[in-house]
Chains A and B, each alone.
Chain A
Amino acid sequence: MVLVRAIIRPEKVGIVLSELLAAGFPAVTKMDVYGRGKQKGVKVGEVYYDEIPKEMLLMVVEDKDKDDVIRIIMKYARTGEEGRFGDGRIFVSPVEEAYTISSRKKGL
């Protein structure tokens, strides 16, 4: 299992979530975050804005589904065909165990 953490633009959350659902990945957690990237934020005139609002999506998926999930997020979170700075990042980390609280079962 892997944890996929995607930091994306808030306005792209709707389409990404509905495409993930359509592809059979309903389970997802979303949180509001603020951050900056490699471009040090956004410069407007003389001012740097370095706490840019983003949304973080957390998904724990089986290893075999990882590439599908990443492909879907990558496709729909992009601005235009080419993509722009600030479209976000996806991080993948290992998950050793998962439990469902209601049934006390191990696994996803």
Chain B
Amino acid sequence: MKEVMAIIRQNKVNVTKAALAKAGIPSFTCRRVLGRGKKLIDLNMFLAITDSEEASSTQLGEHLTESYRLIPKRIFTTIVEDDQVELVVNTIMDVNSTGNPGDGKIFVLPILENYRIRDGQATTEVY
């Protein structure tokens, strides 16, 4: 069993849900989170812009501090069998990729045990 954890855009939850259901993965958990990525600021580029007076340093200062605010995202987790991981990852990537930074990340983590609360049964199967 594997846990597929995808951090995606807020407005992509519905299409992701639909695409996964179509691919035969109906179960998932979704949470509202805040986060930031690793887009780094190139200071030399900003210095060049201020030197050429295309923008004032106050404007740039505001932009710099703004860009490290936490951005609202949705974290989408689903537990699947080992052989379904590739399918799930590809399905999520297909519907979520807009080609821009900020589309999100997908992580795959191992899951050791799985219990059904209804009857207390330990299973090695996802469903």
Residues of A within 8 A of B35 (CB): 27-30, 58
Residues of B within 8 A of A101 (CB): 6, 8, 92-93, 96-97, 103-106
Is B102 within 8 A of A98, CB to CB? Answer: no
Tally of B interface residues using CB under 8 Å:
37
Q: Which of A3-43 contact B (CB under 8 A)?
A: 3, 17, 21, 26-31
Tally of A interface residues using CB under 8 Å:
23
Assuming A96-B109, A104-B97, what are 10 further A-B pairs, CB within 8 angstroms? Answer: A21-B68, A26-B40, A27-B37, A28-B36, A31-B34, A97-B89, A97-B108, A99-B89, A101-B105, A101-B106
Question: Contact residues of B with A, CB < 8 Å?
Answer: 2, 6-8, 31-40, 68, 70, 73, 75, 85, 89, 92-93, 96-110
